[in-house]
Amino acid sequence: MTANPTATEPTLLTLPTPGDWLPWMAERGDAQLAETRRLVDDLKAQRPADAREVLRIWNEAQTALGNAASIGSLFSEVHPEREVRDRAESLMQEVQKLDTDLGLDTELYAVFAELDGSGLDADASRVLEHTLRDFRRSGVDRDEATRARLRELSEQAILLSQEFSKNIREDVRSIRVRPEQLAGMPQDWIDAHPADDDGLVTVTTDYPDVIPFRTFAHDAEARRELVTQFLTIAWPANDEVLQKLFAVRREHASLLGYATWADFDAEVKMIKTGDAIGEFIDRITALSGERAQRDKAVLLERLRQDRPDATDIDGADATYYAELVRKEQHAVDAQRVRTYFPFEAVRQGLLDVTGRLFGLDWTPVAQGDAGTWHADVATYDVAKDGERIGRIHLDLHPRDGKYKHAAQFDLVRGLRGVQLPEGVLVCNFNRGLMEHDEVVTLFHEFGHLVHHVLGGDQEWVRFSGVATEWDFVEAPSQMLEEWAWDADVLGTFARNAEGETIPADLVAAMREADDFGKGYDARTQMFYAALSYDFHVHETPDLTARLRELMGRYSVLPYIEATHMQCHFGHLDGYSSAYYTYMWSLVIAKDMFSAFDRQDLFDPEVARAYRDKVLAQGGRRDAADLVADFLGRPYTFDAYAAWLGE
C-alpha cells in the first residue's frame, strides 16, 4: 500500500468492557443492520445509472451486513455469557434473513440488471458479475410463489443449522474410570484430572480429553467406551435435524433448477459440478488404496501382539496402535515430543516464524487497551513494512459453552481506508505441553488468519480476506502446516524444560512416523467426503445404515457398532456436500509447496511472491489463476501423488 495523505485512517474495532457486552452486541448489530437497509433503500430510490456508483453503495451495504454477521457468528460460539451468545445467535438469524431478503428483492435486482458495466475496471466488473450470479442463485428471477418458498427454506435452514451446532456443542458426554485405567496417560493430564469422592475420574468427549485418551490410554475397554460416546454425540437429536436439513437443501436446489444440492453448491467452486466431486473422491480413493492397505496391515499386526485373535482393527484402537507403531517402529515417543512444546513458547514461536516468513510484525496489545471477551484471549496488532494492517485475537483454550473445534473467525473484514481486518483464532488447546498434532493445528488455523489479514487490503469487501472459492480456502493453511514439520523452523522455538532444542533427528523420525498412516488417513477423508456428498445427492431413509455402507466402501477401518458419527460431524452443516474440499485443497497445497526450497523454508523471495500473488489477492481473481500466477503454470496432481508415494 502506498501512503496516501488524503485517504482516511482505517479504524479498529473497539470492544466493550466486561458487563457491557449485551448492550454492545445489540447496538452494533442493530446499527449495522439499519445501515445496510438504509443504503439499499437509497440504492433503490436513486437508481444511479453509473455502474460504479451502484457498486460503491452496494459495497458499503455489504460491509455493514458483513460487520453484523461477523460479530454474530463469532460471539454466538465464544462468548462466556450465555445471554450474549443467545443475542449473537439471534443477530445471525436477522443477518441471514436480511441477506435472503436482499437476494430475493426484485426491485434491487432491477438496479443491477440494467447496468452497463462496460466502463468498469477488472475488479469492479468482477464484483458486478459475481453480484448478478448471486442474484440468479438466490432465485430473484423466479415467480413470486417460488421466491416465497425459497425464503421459507432459507429461514428453516438457518434454524436447523443452529440447532445442529447447539446439539453438538451442548452434548458433552463422559465416562468415569478407576485411576488405574489412566495408565499410559501423560502425567500432567493425570494431575489435572483428580479422582472424585467415589474414587473415579471423569473423562469427557471434549478434545483435550478424548484426543490424548484414545491415543495413549492402555485400557482398551475404557478407550472403546469413550470413543463410542464420542461417536454418539448429539444422537439421536441430530439425526432428525440432518434429515430435515437435507430435505430443505434438496428442495432449494430443485426450485432453482439444479439436479442436486451438490450441483448447486459446486457451481461457484473450483470443482464446478456435483459429478466432478464423485470423480475426485474415486480418484483419490484409487490413488491411496495400496498405501492404505499397507498401513492398515501394520496396525493389525501390532494389535495381534496384544490380541492374537484379532481379525480387524477399528477406530477405537487405530489411533492408539498408530501411536504405538510410531513409537516402537519409528522411535517417536509422543510424550517425549510434547516436552518440547510448552504452549507459551509455541504461540510465540508461531508468531516469530510467520512474521519472518511473511515480513510481518506482531505487537501485543494489552487487554485493557483492546477490550476482550475473556482473559484467555491474546491480542496483537499486525504491521507490514512498519504500517499497521490489522489485528488478531488468539482464543486458544477450552471453556464451558465455547466452540469445540479449531477455526478462524472474522471479527472485521478489511476495507481499504475504512476498516482494518481483524481475525480471531478459536481453538481448544490445553495450557501446558502441546501434542505436536496440536502445534500443526495451530499453524494450520493461523494460515487462515494470515490470509484474512493479508487479503484484507481491498477496495471491494467481497474480495476481502479468505474470499476465494471454498475448495481453495484450506490450501494456504495446509501449506503452512509444512513449517511445523521442519527441523530448522521448529528449532527456533521448540525447547524442553532443560532448555534443549528439539533434536533434528527426532523431527526427522516424527516426519517418517507421520508418513505412516497417510494412506488410511486419505481413505478416512474420502469416507467423510463421500458422506457429505452422498447425503446431499441421494435421499437416505436411514443415515446410519448408509454411513456404514459408505464406510465399508471408502474407509479401511470398519464401523463401530451403535455409533452415529454423522450426528456430530459438524461439517455436514458448514460444508454441506463439499467436504471433499479438504483433500482438493491439499492437492493444491502440495503443488504450491513444491515452489519452496525444502532446505530453506524461510527463503524470502518465494515466500513474498506467495504472500503477494496468492494471499494478498483475497478473492480478486479465481483461485486457479492466483495459483498459476504464483507457480508460473496451472496446478496439477503430480506433487500430491509424489507425496503419497514417498
Residue 288 neighbours by CB under 8 Å, 6+ apart: 518, 519, 522, 523, 526, 644
- Name the residue nearer to Zn ion (CB basis): 339 or 477: 477
Instruction: Write down the least CB distance from residue 434 to Zn ion, Å.
Output: 18
Instruction: Write down the least CB distance from residue 585 to Zn ion, Å.
Output: 8
Instruction: Write down the least CB distance from residue 426 to Zn ion, Å.
Output: 12
All cell numbers assigned to 80: 462466556
Instruction: Write down the least CB distance from residue 582 to Zn ion, Å.
Output: 8
- Name the residue nearer to Zn ion (CB basis): 459 or 573: 573
- Name the residue nearer to Zn ion (CB basis): 323 or 474: 474
Q: Give the separation between CA 532 and CA 285, rounded to whole angstroms.
A: 15
Instruction: Write down the least CB distance from residue 439 to Zn ion, Å.
Output: 15
**Binding to Zn ion, residues 216-255 (CB under 5 A):** none
**Segment near Zn ion (CB under 5 A), from 174-182, 284-292, 323-331, 471-479?**
471-479
Q: 418 in helix, strand or coil?
A: coil
Residue 128 neighbours by CB under 8 Å, 6+ apart: 51, 55, 112, 115, 117, 120
- Name the residue nearer to Zn ion (CB basis): 459 or 474: 474
Instruction: Write down the least CB distance from residue 472 to Zn ion, Å.
Output: 11
Instruction: Write down the least CB distance from residue 625 to Zn ion, Å.
Output: 22
Tell me the H-state helices in 6-81. 21-46, 51-78
CB 55 within 8 A of CB 124: yes
Q: What is the dihedral of CA 108, 110, 112, 113, to 10 degrees?
A: 150
Q: Percent helix, strand, coil in the chain (nearest 5)? A: 60, 5, 30
Instruction: Write down the least CB distance from residue 193 to Zn ion, Å.
Output: 29
The conformation of residue 367, written as its DSSP 8-state character, comes to H
Q: Give the separation between CA 592 and CA 643, rounded to whole angstroms.
A: 13
581 contributes a contact to Zn ion by CB under 5 A = no
CB 353 within 8 A of CB 439: no
**Segment near Zn ion (CB under 5 A), from 7-15, 293-301, 451-459, 473-481?**
473-481
Q: Give the separation between CA 618 and CA 595, rounded to whole angstroms.
A: 20
Taking alpha carbons only, the member of 150, 153, 189, 193 closest to residue 175 is 193
- Name the residue nearer to Zn ion (CB basis): 40 or 626: 626
- Name the residue nearer to Zn ion (CB basis): 205 or 477: 477
Residues in binding contact with Zn ion, number by CB under 5 A = 2
Q: Give the separation between CA 573 and CA 169, rounded to whole angstroms.
A: 14
Residue of closest CB approach to Zn ion: 477
Instruction: Write down the least CB distance from residue 474 to Zn ion, Å.
Output: 5
- Name the residue nearer to Zn ion (CB basis): 137 or 518: 518
Taking alpha carbons only, the member of 325, 340, 342, 449 closest to residue 395 is 449
**Segment near Zn ion (CB under 5 A), from 281-289, 346-354, 433-441, 472-480?**
472-480
Instruction: Write down the least CB distance from residue 70 to Zn ion, Å.
Output: 18
Q: 475 in helix, strand or coil?
A: helix
- Name the residue nearer to Zn ion (CB basis): 339 or 468: 468
> Which residues, listed in sequence order, are joined to residue 408 by a DSSP beta bridge?
425
CB atoms within 10 A of CB 220: 14
C-alpha distances in angstroms, 386 versus 40, 361, 362, 363, 390?
Answer: 38, 8, 11, 11, 12
Taking alpha carbons only, the member of 639, 519, 527 closest to residue 582 is 527
**Segment near Zn ion (CB under 5 A), from 22-30, 235-243, 477-485, 491-499?**
477-485
Instruction: Write down the least CB distance from residue 300 to Zn ion, Å.
Output: 31
- Name the residue nearer to Zn ion (CB basis): 213 or 593: 593
477 contributes a contact to Zn ion by CB under 5 A = yes
- Name the residue nearer to Zn ion (CB basis): 70 or 477: 477
- Name the residue nearer to Zn ion (CB basis): 477 or 617: 477
**CA count, 13 A, side-chain hemisphere, 217:** 26
**Segment near Zn ion (CB under 5 A), from 124-132, 223-231, 260-268, 469-477?**
469-477
Residue whose grid cell is 496488532: 381
- Name the residue nearer to Zn ion (CB basis): 426 or 551: 426
Report the interface residues with Zn ion, using CB under 5 A.
Answer: 474, 477
